[in-house]
């Protein structure tokens, strides 16, 4: 009789011999699979606009919008290089369009948001309606709607693209199609969607043409800024968020897109915020003013001094706090609606 194998050897032999059958033992990975708390690979990162802008302009010389289809520099999380992802679930990029250019019409199941960073006069067309871009506007491209971008103005226009590309890739649910015409035909005058849905009113009879997505294509900055200013003046300021509003789908009261929530917040002058953390990783675009974000997670800490047009990402379950000496305005987006739909959203506010 052979002596029984020592345990370690017994296990190694088991693993080795079942490996060709694509079998692997749970007990070796259980702790990492079901961690005691979120342990994201993502790291916080800041893209200073001063550093990024020259490369965007060089991209403008290196390729046309038409040839590129979308002339975008992707903001990649430093810990996820090569994956076109700013968090595990979200994509971020800065898109440039120059006067006279057209980014040709296509559609895809991925939802997109545009947050205008620099310049005016470009438009995005969705479903036959054009929307002119101004800095600070938040514009939506609903899933599976034809969209093209164009520019009849006279200065470079840059916007932040926020898409759910990694999420749709995770579900292997992506479809895309090119249009036969470069620019889709205009079939509705500009402002129609806003007139129908943008005034706390809605048509008496309407169909939800964009499914779970807001029928408002553009949420103009003038309106969001006015709301924040009024609240900063006349309402209590939150110790963690300053004055923060979420954008709405007026037909549901939920987020403007099923996969992404969007926010605009103002930190008043002298704001010294308390720390919080939440499971939805978020991407920020600085609209106005300066401030500082201190972020801690997984044993490291980061301190980002930010100014207008800078972008940064706060990953899941990283503790963050904001401060601003002279006040600032921040736009942000995250995958919160999905966390909420799954019942796994967690948030913690510390004193
Ligand atoms: O404008 O349609 O940044 O399809 C990435 C993929 C922008 C767009 C991106 C896209 C678009």
Residue from 59, 70, 158, 179 to probe ligand 1 pocket by mutation (most atoms less than 8 Å from CB): 70
- Is ligand 1 within 6 A of the CB of residue 112? yes
Distance from residue 95's CA to the centre of ligand 1 (Å): 8
337 in a structural domain: yes
CA-based radius of gyration for the chain: 23
Full domain range(s) for residue 162? 36-349
Q: What percent of the chain has pLDDT over 70?
A: 100
Residue 95 CA: nearest ligand 1 atom is 3
CATH code, 319 = 2.60.120.10
The reply to whether ligand 1 has any atom less than 6 angstroms from the CB of 143 is no
Q: What pLDDT, on the 0 to 100 scale, is given for residue 5?
A: 84
Whole-number Å distance between alpha carbons of 318 and 297: 5
95 lines ligand 1 (CB under 6 A): yes
In a domain, 15, yes or no: no
* 285-325 pLDDT, tens digit each: 999 999 999 999 999 999 999 999 999 999 999 999 999 99
The answer to the question of residue 81 being in a domain is yes
CA–centroid distance, 318 to ligand 1, in Å, is 28
Closest ligand 1 atom, residue 72 Cα: 3
Contact between 181 and 102 (Cβ < 8 Å): no
pLDDT in tens, 234-254: 999 999 999 999 999 999 999
Distance (Å) from CA 290 to ligand 1 centroid: 29
pLDDT at 209: 84
Compute the distance between CA of residue 323 and CA of residue 330 in angstroms, rounded to an integer.
12
Residue 6 lies in a domain: no
Residue 9 lies in a domain: no
Q: Ligand 1: distance of its center to the CA of 161 in Å?
A: 7
Query: Hunting for tokens 């990402």 — which residue is that?
Result: 313
Name which residue sits closest to atom 11 of ligand 1, judged by CA. 70
> What does the alpha-carbon distance between residue 255 and residue 252 come to, in Å, rounded to a whole number?
8
When divided into structural domains, the chain yields a total of: 1
Three-state SS at 151: strand
Please list, in sequence order, all residues whose beta carbon lies within 8 angstroms of the beta carbon of residue 230, skipping any fewer than 6 positions away.
none
Q: Does 84 fall in a domain? A: yes
- Closest residue by Cα to atom 6, ligand 1, is 70
The candidate with the shortest Cα–Cα distance to 214, out of 167, 153, 257, is: 257
Contact 134, 116 (CB under 8 A): yes
Regarding the beta carbon of 93 and ligand 1, being less than 6 Å apart is answered: yes
| pLDDT given for residue 206 in this prediction | 78
Give the residue from 196, 191, 119 showing the smallest Cα distance to 157: 119
Q: Could you tell me the sign of the dihedral formed by the alpha carbons of 279, 81, 73, 67, in that order?
A: negative
162, 220 Cβ separation under 8 angstroms: no
Which of 66, 72, 86, 164 to mutate to test ligand 1, by most ligand atoms within 8 A of the CB atom? 72
| Residue 62, domain member (yes or no) | yes
Phi, psi of 297 (to 5 degrees): -175, 145
pLDDT the model gives residue 1: 60
Q: Supply angle C-alpha 66, 67, 72, rounded to 5.
A: 80
Residue 278: name the closest of 118, 17, 143, 87 by CA: 87
Distance 68 CA to ligand 1 centre (A): 11
CA of 301 to the centre of ligand 1 (A): 32
- The string of pLDDT tens digits covering residues 39-53 is 999 999 999 999 999
Helices (H), the chain: 7-18, 30-33, 49-62, 65-68, 165-170, 192-197, 221-234, 336-342
Q: Which of 90, 104, 112, 260 to mutate to test the pocket of ligand 1 (most atoms within 8 A of CB)?
A: 112
Instruction: Give CA angle at 275 (274, 280), nearest 5°.
Output: 135
Q: How far is the CA of 88 from the centre of ligand 1 (A)?
A: 18
Contact by Cβ (8 Å): 287, 171: no
Ligand 1 centroid to Cα of residue 138, in Å, is 15
Q: Is residue 153 part of a domain?
A: yes
The whole-chain average pLDDT of the chain stands at 96
pLDDT tens-place values along the chain, 351 residues long? 678 889 999 999 999 999 999 999 999 999 999 999 999 999 999 999 999 999 999 999 999 999 999 999 999 999 999 999 999 999 999 999 999 999 999 999 999 999 999 999 999 999 899 999 999 999 999 999 999 999 999 999 999 999 999 999 999 999 999 999 889 999 999 999 999 999 999 999 877 889 999 999 999 999 999 999 999 999 999 999 999 999 999 999 999 999 999 999 999 999 999 999 999 999 999 999 999 999 999 999 999 999 999 999 999 999 999 999 999 999 999 999 999 999 999 999 999
| Contact partners, residue 222, CB within 8 Å, separation at least 6 | 134
d(C-alpha 101, C-alpha 90), whole Å: 27
Asked whether 265 and 245 are in contact (CB, 8 A), the reply is yes
């Amino acid at each position: 009789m052979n002596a029984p194998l020592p345990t370690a050897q017994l296990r190694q032999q088991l693993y080795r011999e079942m490996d060709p059958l694509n079998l692997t033992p749970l007990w070796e990975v259980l702790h990492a699979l079901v961690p005691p708390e979120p342990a994201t690979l993502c790291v916080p990162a800041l893209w200073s606009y001063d550093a990024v802008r020259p490369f965007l302009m060089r991209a403008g010389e290196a390729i046309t919008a038409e040839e590129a289809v979308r002339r975008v520099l992707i903001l990649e999380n430093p810990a996820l290089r090569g994956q076109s992802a700013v968090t595990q679930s979200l994509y971020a990029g800065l898109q440039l369009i120059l006067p006279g250019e057209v980014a040709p019409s296509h559609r895809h199941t991925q939802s997109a948001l545009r947050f205008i960073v620099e310049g005016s006069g470009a438009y995005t067309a969705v479903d036959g309606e054009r929307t002119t871009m101004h800095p600070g506007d938040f514009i939506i491209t609903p899933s599976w709607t034809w969209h093209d971008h164009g520019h009849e103005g006279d200065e470079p226009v840059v916007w932040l693209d926020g898409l759910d590309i990694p999420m749709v890739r995770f579900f292997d649910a992506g479809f895309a199609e090119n249009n036969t015409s470069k620019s889709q035909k205009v079939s509705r005058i500009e402002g129609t969607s806003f007139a129908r849905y943008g005034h706390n009113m809605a048509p008496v009879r309407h169909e939800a043409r964009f499914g779970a997505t807001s029928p408002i294509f553009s949420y103009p900055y003038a309106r969001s800024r006015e709301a924040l200013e009024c609240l900063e003046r006349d309402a209590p300021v939150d110790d963690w968020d300053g004055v923060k509003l979420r954008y709405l789908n007026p037909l549901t009261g939920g987020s403007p897109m099923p996969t992404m929530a969007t926010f605009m917040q103002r930190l008043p002058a002298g704001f010294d915020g308390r720390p919080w953390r939440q499971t939805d990783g978020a991407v920020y675009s600085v609209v106005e003013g300066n401030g500082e974000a201190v972020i801690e997670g997984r044993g490291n800490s980061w301190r980002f001094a930010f100014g207008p047009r800078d972008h940064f990402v706060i990953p899941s379950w990283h503790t963050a706090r904001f401060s601003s000496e002279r006040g600032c305005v921040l736009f942000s987006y995250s995958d919160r609606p999905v966390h909420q739909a799954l019942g796994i959203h967690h948030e913690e506010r510390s004193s």
